[in-house]
Structure 1
Amino acid sequence: MPSAPGSRSIGLRSTVYRLLALVCLSAGTLGLLLPLLPTTPFVLLALWAASRGAPELAETLRDHPRHGPLLRGWEQHRAIPRRARILAVAMLAFSALTLWIGGIRGEVLIALLVLFAGIGTWVWTRPDPSERA
């Protein structure tokens, strides 16, 4: 029996979202080990993609004992706990210091410092979930 028009694209779209979720989750996991690779943005992106293509994976992420509360707080209130904000900004600073000590070219270092400062400012200005409840 032939498939309904568009059903193949729905299956393809779901597969692409699933693949994106798994790639982002893998990158986030690597970020736990590599100081220059962020974890949180990849896990948030994995949740976003999984919500669209792999609902069971999205639920698994939301129910995770350590990361679930952070992800639910982000989804519900666009909020980041104070401890996570401090850690994120500290890791950005550590990454910048590592790049500087590593002797990265001056213009590249400046561009990355501007990027890190922007990201750090954005993260730091997010509300705490307890303030939004």
Structure 2
Amino acid sequence: MKAKIIRSIYLIAGCLCVVLGFIGVILPLLPTTPFLLVAAFCFSRSSERLHKTLLNNRYFGKYIRDWEDGGIIPFKIKVLATTMMVLMVIYPLFFRSFHLGLKAGVVVTIVIAMIYIWSRPSELKQQE
């Protein structure tokens, strides 16, 4: 009984993450990728069919498979993510007036995100 409840929670969380991921495609400030990765994780523990559906999606399935196989973030995605993060914060940081602590928090958050992104491999290492 307990396992069924946990599985249901994973299923609901996965569905919610997919919805948020698709909303993120439309809204530029809501990230798509993290939600879809969490959805894949949740589905891997609740629904093999939905997990396979995500993995076989023609738009983002390859990225999810790469992430699951080795934590891979392709180089072009790293460049895109870095560019988007910088573009999204340049205007508010330089041209909007708000507390310096908030500005510092934004910069620290972006730097941490970039360090993490660039620390991940860009391609699967070949076994010798």
Shorter-chain-normalised TM-score: which range?
A: 0.7 to 0.9
Q: Structure 1 residue 17: deviation in Å? A: 0.2
Which digits, 9 at most, give the CA deviation of each residue in 1:19-56, with x for residues without a partner?
A: 11111111111211222211111111111111011221
Matched with 2:49 is 56
1:17 aligns with 2:4: no
Give SS of 1:75's match.
helix
Give SS of 1:132's match.
coil
Query: How does 1:32-43 map onto structure 2 within 5 Å?
Result: 32-43=25-36
Letter of the structure 2 residue corresponding to residue 112 of structure 1: V
| Distance (Å, rounded) in 2 between the aligned partners of 1:19 and 1:103 | 40
For 1:94, which of 63, 66, 87 is the aligned residue?
87
Matched with 2:22 is 29
Matched with 1:83 is 76
| Distance (Å, rounded) in 2 between the aligned partners of 1:54 and 1:17 | 9
User: More deviation in 23-32 or 63-72?
Assistant: 23-32
| Distance (Å, rounded) in 2 between the aligned partners of 1:102 and 1:47 | 38
For 1:45, which of 11, 19, 38 is the aligned residue?
38
- Give the gaps of 5 or more residues in structure 1: 1-7
Q: How many residues align?
A: 125
Superposed CA RMSD in Å reads: 1.6
Letter of the structure 2 residue corresponding to residue 71 of structure 1: I
Q: Structure 1 residue 103: deviation in Å? A: 4.0
- Give the gaps of 5 or more residues in structure 2: none
Matched with 2:109 is 115
Q: Structure 1 residue 98: deviation in Å? A: 4.5
TM-score (norm 1): 0.84
| Distance (Å, rounded) in 2 between the aligned partners of 1:62 and 1:88 | 21
Matched with 1:125 is 119
